[in-house]
Structure 1
Amino acid sequence: MTITSDDELEALRKIGRIVARTLEAMGQALEPGMTTKELDDIGRALLEAEGARSAPELAYGFPGATCISVGPDVAHGIPGDRRIAAGDLVNIDVSAELDGFYGDTGASFAVPPVSKTIERLCRDGRRAMWSGIRAVRPGAPLNAIGKGVEGFARKNGYTLIRNLASHGVGRSLHEEPEGLATWYDPADRRTIGEGLVFTIEPFLALGDDWVDELDDGWTLRPSRGGPAVQYEHTLVATKNGPVILTLAA
């Protein structure tokens, strides 16, 4: 989507705040012993209280309001009876629709106690995302985002999952531009237009660069089973730089 009016921007800010606050509340509620279904129920209740609808459920018939993946799984995990344990690495992805506009955000949470390696991976997952966000400006190549993320990853000894990418969003959950690599792709000649709405969501890993789909048809797990994290914002490119739409405040 490319924003054409202040009303569209405000509508995207509104749904962006809703998904951001939902993600924040779910992260705060996360504790050992609860099931991923119980955590998802919290997310569903918060979305419904705002009049928002789960985007994966609406768009794809996903069996849950939010995607909750417990390591080594990294994405599209189905909420269910699995109990979260101390030491788990949990990814929560919240996307929703309100009045025809979509917001999409996500984060990984380490349930204490965890190793210094996992603490560092979570910290650097956020830093990797911001390395991409800082490259956003109208007229810049889209692959500058991946160049920034990959540069950070290589410098700090990480790998990136290369079959999961960022995407356009706004009037639907996934729209053009699709396949926005969070690694440098010199073949991508597209540029960032003013007003373009899209996500930036690198998957930073310790050795893995690919995920496989499990037999449930949804859950994605790194091929070598190593830890990986994802952090995601929806943003819009403006002449004054990137504006983050998925902020809780």
Structure 2
Amino acid sequence: MTITHQDELDGLKKIGRIVANTMHSMAKAMTPGMTTRELDSIGRELLEREGAVSAPQATYDFPGTTCISVNEEIAHGIPGERRLAKGDLVNIDVSASLNGYFADTGASFALGSVHPDLNQLRRDGQRAMQIGISQVGHDKPLAGIGNAIGAFASKRGYTLIRNLASHGVGKALHEAPDEVPTWPTKGDNRRIHKGLVLTVEPFLSQGGRWAASRPDDDWTLYSEPAAPVVQYEHTVVATRRGAIIVTLPG
């Protein structure tokens, strides 16, 4: 989507605020012993209260309202009977639509105390996303996002999951530009234009390089090789002055 009028930006900001509030409310509600299905039901009630529609459910018939991925699961985790426990690393990904506008956000949360390395990974995952967002602006190279994130990750000894990319969003959950790498690439000459709406969502890891599913579940993705992974995601709009983040709570 390309924003051309203020009412479009207002509509995008409204659904962006809703998905952000939903994600953070879900994170605050997490308790040991709660199932991921129960956590998902909180998200469903919050979205329904605002009149918003789950984007993965409506677009792909995903078997849940939100994606909840725990520990070894790194993305697209299906809400179910898995019970949360102290020390879990929980990724909550919320995307939804309202009045024809879509927004997408996600973050990795710790339930109670986790190993210091994981807390550092979480802080650096947020920083990686922020570095990527800083590369969003009119006429900037699209590959600049992944190149900047890659330099940050390499300097700190991290790896990046290289088959889970950022993407265009706004009038649909996934739209052009279809794949925006959050890792270093060569030969990508695409440029960002004013008003472009996209996500920035690096998957930062302590050794993982690829996301793969398993034979019994086509949705949930795991790191290959196995390693801790965090993901942080905002939906942003490119302007001549940089990026507007629309997925902020408020």
What interval of TM-score do these two structures reach, taking the shorter chain for normalisation?
over 0.9
Q: How far 1:113 sits from its partner (Å)?
A: 1.8
Aligned residue in 2 for 1:234: 235
TM (norm. structure 1) is: 0.99
Q: How far 1:72 sits from its partner (Å)?
A: 0.7
Aligned residue in 1 for 2:20: 20
Whether the aligned pair in 1 keeps the contact of 2:207 and 2:226 (CA below 8 Å) is: no
SS at match of 2:179: strand
Aligned residue in 2 for 1:51: 51
Q: How far 1:220 sits from its partner (Å)?
A: 0.2
The residue type equivalent to 1:49 in the other structure is R
- Between stretches 122-131 and 206-215, larger displacement belongs to 206-215
Aligned residue in 1 for 2:156: 156
Q: CA deviation digits over 1:95-130, x for unaligned, max 9?
A: 001011101000001112211000000010000000
Aligned residue in 1 for 2:246: 245
How far apart, CA to CA, are the structure 1 residues paired with 2:71 and 2:159?
17
Q: Which consecutive segments of 4 or more residues in structure 1 shift more than 6 A?
A: none
Q: How far 1:30 sits from its partner (Å)?
A: 1.2
How far apart, CA to CA, are the structure 2 residues paired with 1:188 and 1:44?
38
Q: How far 1:177 sits from its partner (Å)?
A: 0.2
Aligned residue in 2 for 1:143: 143
TM (norm. structure 2) is: 0.98
The residue type equivalent to 2:225 in the other structure is R
SS at match of 1:77: coil
SS at match of 1:229: strand
Q: CA deviation digits over 1:135-165, x for unaligned, max 9?
A: 1110010000011101110111100000100
How far apart, CA to CA, are the structure 1 residues paired with 2:139 and 2:87?
43
SS at match of 2:152: helix
The residue type equivalent to 1:14 in the other structure is K
Aligned residue in 1 for 2:79: 79
Aligned residue in 2 for 1:89: 89
The residue type equivalent to 1:130 in the other structure is Q
Superposition pairs of residues 158-237 of structure 1, within 5 angstroms: 158-214=158-214, 215-237=216-238
Q: May I ask how many residue pairs the two structures share in their alignment?
A: 249
How far apart, CA to CA, are the structure 2 residues paired with 1:248 and 1:89?
21
Q: How far 1:224 sits from its partner (Å)?
A: 2.1
The residue type equivalent to 1:43 in the other structure is G
Aligned residue in 2 for 1:110: 110
SS at match of 2:107: strand
How far apart, CA to CA, are the structure 1 residues paired with 2:208 and 2:217?
21
How far apart, CA to CA, are the structure 2 residues paired with 1:157 and 1:30?
31
How far apart, CA to CA, are the structure 1 residues paired with 2:128 and 2:88?
21
Q: How far 1:240 sits from its partner (Å)?
A: 1.7
Whether the aligned pair in 1 keeps the contact of 2:201 and 2:232 (CA below 8 Å) is: yes
SS at match of 2:130: helix
Aligned residue in 2 for 1:3: 3
How far apart, CA to CA, are the structure 1 residues paired with 2:32 and 2:121?
21
The residue type equivalent to 2:231 in the other structure is Q
